[in-house]
């Protein structure tokens, strides 16, 4: 049996590459680390450049270089594909298109269509019960977001892009904040400030007439999410790894005192925590819903009773949970994934 793990750098294995590959190798699987940026096709058979590592041998560590047989590996010669990285912007569209086509013939741990359409903050309303998500407003029109903020003068908000990761461009907006207008303009692409006519009252007719033509610079607006701030975040977030609908690993995140974000990428530290029955039930409910869309591995961020975010492509958590607790849960993940896809293949 062969598992193809698609990653950004086989010469520097990441936090999911390492535990997942080690676990599958312990189960006797061959593992190929393929480059996400090197996908191609040979008469519409899809392949990637990669390294096949032996099932036996020393386990890999974070940052290890994959050692083994280098070559081109075809997707349809693998029994399972695990996507641990997205393609960079210059090739992302082609990469996702070819991955979807390859997935029509080879099983993927997380479906391409599920990953593309559900790994976004827009999707929380489709997957999370209303009582477990904060109110959110999405638009690429600065004036609409600004008006929504001004309508609730006593509310704290969080503003962020719907498709950013690792805490990038996440802003805490206090009531009557002096920089809120600027922040919302920035998140929506400064489109309102890019009119060739400016904002003077005597030019409003010209602005109105030209707003759908976008001007010489083209369409500049970007989407932003304006979301009620969740006070429970101050007590700490938890990352829960759910595999095939089961919560298998978790850790807390202790943020810096000078930052409202608790992302590991922003300097937060993983800490050991307990997961209470209600938290397990909620995480597994989300996991089961995602399985209907072909998603079998997810990192759920929660500050109970709220779900903060869902992470489908390379969600950190297995490695950090082991750092925090000293317990390696990767074997359980591999066991669940193997069992599910063996059942799928037999049916």
pLDDT digits (tens, 9 = 90+) for 18-50: 999 999 999 999 999 999 999 999 999 999 999
Using DSSP bridges, classify how beta strands 157-160 and 224-228 pair: parallel, antiparallel or unpaired: antiparallel
Dihedral sign of CA atoms 318, 323, 324, 326 in order: positive
Global pTM exceeds 0.85: yes
For residue 121, pLDDT over 60 is answered with yes
Predicted confidence at residue 229, as pLDDT, reads 93
For residue 136, pLDDT over 70 is answered with yes
Using DSSP bridges, classify how beta strands 45-53 and 40-42 pair: parallel, antiparallel or unpaired: antiparallel
Helix (H) or strand (E) holding 83: strand 80-83
Mean pLDDT value across the chain: 88
- State how far the Cα of 136 lies from the Cα of 153, in Å rounded to an integer: 16
CA angle 307, 181, 201 (to 5 degrees): 140
Lowest mean pLDDT among 146-150, 202-206, 244-248, 331-335: 202-206
DSSP letter (8 states) at residue 130: G
* Torsion angle defined by CA atoms of residues 282, 284, 286 and 292, in that order, rounded to the nearest 10 degrees: -150
Name the more confident of 343 and 171.
171
- State how far the Cα of 54 lies from the Cα of 49, in Å rounded to an integer: 17
> What is the per-residue pLDDT across 258-268, written as a single tens digit (0 to 9) for each?
544 455 554 56
- State how far the Cα of 81 lies from the Cα of 92, in Å rounded to an integer: 18
State mean pLDDT over 189-215. 57
Predicted confidence at residue 343, as pLDDT, reads 73
**What's the N-to-C CA distance of the chain in angstroms?**
18
The two structure tokens encoding residue 84 = 């641990």
Among residues 239, 299, 297, the alpha carbon closest in space to that of 273 is found at: 239
State mean pLDDT over 338-346. 79
Predicted confidence at residue 261, as pLDDT, reads 44
Percent of the chain at pLDDT exceeding 90: 73
Is residue 50 classed exposed, middle or buried when 0-12, 13-18 and 19+ CB atoms within 10 A define those classes? buried
For residue 122, pLDDT over 50 is answered with yes
Dihedral sign of CA atoms 48, 49, 52, 53 in order: negative
Predicted confidence at residue 208, as pLDDT, reads 54
Among 43-52, 165-174, 209-218, 228-237, top mean pLDDT goes to 43-52
State mean pLDDT over 120-139. 95
- For 90, half-sphere exposure in the C-beta direction (CA atoms, 13 angstrom radius) is 2
Predicted confidence at residue 198, as pLDDT, reads 52
State mean pLDDT over 112-117. 96
- pLDDT tier at 54 (50, 70, 90 boundaries)? confident
Using DSSP bridges, classify how beta strands 2-7 and 80-83 pair: parallel, antiparallel or unpaired: parallel
Predicted confidence at residue 329, as pLDDT, reads 95
């Amino acid at each position: 049996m062969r598992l193809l793990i698609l990653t950004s750098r086989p010469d520097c294995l990441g936090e999911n590459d390492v535990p997942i590959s080690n676990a599958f190798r312990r189960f006797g699987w061959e593992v190929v680390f393929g480059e996400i940026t090197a996908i191609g096709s040979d008469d519409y058979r899809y392949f990637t450049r990669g390294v096949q590592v032996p099932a036996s041998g020393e386990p890999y560590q974070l940052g290890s270089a994959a050692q083994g047989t280098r070559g081109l590996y075809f997707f349809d010669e693998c029994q399972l594909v695990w996507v641990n990285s997205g393609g960079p912007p210059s090739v992302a569209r082609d990469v996702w298109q070819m991955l979807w086509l390859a997935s029509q013939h080879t099983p993927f741990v997380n479906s391409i269509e599920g990953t593309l359409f559900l790994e976004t903050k827009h999707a929380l309303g489709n997957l999370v019960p209303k009582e477990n998500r904060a109110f959110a407003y999405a638009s690429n029109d600065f004036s609409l977001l600004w008006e929504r903020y001004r309508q609730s003068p006593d509310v704290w908000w969080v503003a962020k892009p719907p498709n950013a990761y690792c805490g990038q461009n996440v802003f805490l907006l206090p009531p009557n904040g002096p920089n809120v207008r600027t922040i919302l303009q920035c998140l929506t692409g400064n489109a309102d400030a890019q009119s060739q006519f400016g904002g003077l009252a005597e030019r409003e007719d010209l602005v109105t007439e030209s707003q759908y033509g976008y001007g010489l610079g083209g369409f500049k607006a970007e989407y932003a999410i304006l979301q009620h701030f969740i006070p429970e975040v101050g007590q700490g977030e938890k990352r829960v790894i759910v595999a095939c609908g089961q919560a298998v690993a978790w850790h807390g995140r202790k943020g810096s005192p000078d930052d409202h974000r608790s992302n590991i990428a922003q300097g937060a530290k993983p800490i050991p925590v307990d997961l209470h029955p209600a938290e397990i039930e909620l995480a597994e409910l989300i996991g089961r819903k995602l399985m209907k869309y072909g998603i079998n591995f997810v990192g759920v961020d929660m500050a109970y009773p709220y779900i903060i975010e869902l992470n489908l492509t390379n969600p950190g958590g297995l490695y950090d949970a082991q750092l925090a607790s000293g317990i390696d849960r990767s074997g359980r993940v591999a066991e669940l994934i193997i069992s599910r896809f063996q059942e799928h293949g037999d049916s």
